[in-house]
Amino acid sequence: MTTTDITILDTDPERAKRVAAILSSSSLTTSIRDLDDPAAIGDLGQFDGALRAGQPSDADQGPRAHSFLVCITAPIARSVEAIKRLASTVEPVTIVAYGSHPTVEGVVSLMRAGAFDVVTRLEDGHALASAMRSAMARDHQVAERRNRVRAARARIDILSKREREVLACVLAGYSNRGMGDALGVSVKTIEAHRANLMRKADCRSVAAVVQLAIDAGFDQPAEPLPEDSDAAPAGRSANRTGSPSAASQKTAKV
């Protein structure tokens, strides 16, 4: 399937073609959809690559950004509704409204609905192309962030319950001895769990595994230890069966 950079939603096919020609001169590929066609917005998954933001493309290219151009209609409520529906899709998309000169109230409505920008001077091809490139750059950043979160959560989710408990202790700054006291196991057992954790998470340093946990949203570490202390928090070493409550929590799915 041929992929495009921008999907144009317009009620006027000729105007949409003019806009597509302007963008084509700036090396931006487009597809055109009828704004009045319910299927055009109702089933975004069927667009020609329209929802590729956040999905890996060919090797070494990373996620492919995709943006939408929505014409400003009369009444403007039609465009506002279209933008709201686009903005509520599962994958992140960036929307730019274009066309006639809306009132200040109209611009506010379009932006609040989810538009990234409003372009009114279609004769200025540079301004339109610049707005779309800015939108696509933002789309790409959002897509990369979503991919990073998904990958991090997938790596956290393969950890065992005990390994997640150890990870929570790492985030709280426990030493191996402190982890052993908190979890009721020997230091050698903790070392084995940490080795398994690092291997499964594909991390080579504490900094890397902490960043992975942050990316995954695994942000509820065990109760932190007093500064410069190797002992377990009060009440844990006595029974040697306690475990960090957050450690057993799996990360939420994207």
Interval 168-221: pLDDT, tens: 999 999 999 999 999 999 999 999 999 999 999 999 999 999 999 999 988 655
Q: Is the pLDDT of residue 129 over 80?
A: yes
Map tokens 């151009």 to a residue: 69
Token pair for 77: 């409520």
Q: Is the pLDDT of residue 77 over 80?
A: yes
Q: Are residues 179 and 84 in the same domain?
A: no
Q: Are residues 61 and 183 in the same domain?
A: no
Q: Which DSSP letter does residue 246 get?
A: G
- Residue 227 belongs to some domain of the structure: yes
List the domain range (segments joined by +) for residue 15.
Answer: 6-151
Token pair for 202: 């594909």
CATH number of the domain encompassing residue 227: 1.10.10.10
- Residue 253 belongs to some domain of the structure: no
Average pLDDT over residues 74-102: 79
Q: Are residues 128 and 244 in the same domain?
A: no
According to DSSP, the residues that pair with 70 across neighbouring strands are 9, 97
Q: Provide the pLDDT for residue 205.
A: 93
Domain edge (last residue) among 120, 151, 182: 151
Q: Provide the pLDDT for residue 48.
A: 35
Q: What is the DSSP string of 158-186?
A: TS-HHHHHHHHHHHHT--HHHHHHHHTS-
Q: What is the DSSP string of 185-247?
A: S-HHHHHHHHHHHHHHHT-SSHHHHHHHHHHHT---PPPPPPTT--SPPTTTTTTS----GGG
CATH number of the domain encompassing residue 88: 3.40.50.2300
Nearest to 6 by CA among 38, 47, 37: 47
Q: Provide the pLDDT for residue 6.
A: 83
The residue among 99 and 44 whose pLDDT is bigger is: 99
pTM check: above 0.85: no
Interval 21-35: pLDDT, tens: 988 888 888 888 888
Q: Are residues 101 and 116 in the same domain?
A: yes
- Residue 23 belongs to some domain of the structure: yes
Kindly state the helix (H) or strand (E) to which residue 48 belongs, with its residue range: none
The residue among 208 and 51 whose pLDDT is bigger is: 208
Tally of domains in the chain: 2
